[in-house]
Amino acid sequence: MTIENVKLHTSYTVADAQAIMKILERAEVQFKVVSATDDKAITDYLGRSDFKPVDLYINGDDLGRADMVLRPLFVG
């Protein structure tokens, strides 16, 4: 059974998303990036019109590999 794309997190800044994407690319993890659907609310909250959050979706078949390479970033 194949799992479809899984949302990694919501509302990364573009700079944070780019750093994470580089790590995922090196690990050959398939992913896609989508503009966050709630960016208007987040932008209003932060008062920054230049803040464009994105969502990262990991291919379900690559979740194990993504976990291995990203866990050190989030766990510390």
Task: State both tokens at 74.
Answer: 């989030």
pLDDT band for position 72 (cuts 50, 70, 90): confident
On the question of pLDDT at 28 being above 90, the answer is yes
Match domain 6-75 to its CATH number in 2.40.30, 1.20.1300, 3.30.70, 3.30.450. 3.30.70
Q: CA torsion 34→36→37→38, rounded to 10°?
A: 180
On the question of pLDDT at 34 being above 70, the answer is yes
Task: State both tokens at 5.
Answer: 């794309």
pLDDT: which is higher, 27 or 5: 27
Q: Which residue has the tokens 């990364």?
A: 12
State the pLDDT at residue 13. Answer: 74
Cβ-proximal residues to 50 (8 Å cutoff; 6+ apart), any chain: none
Domain spans, the chain: 6-75
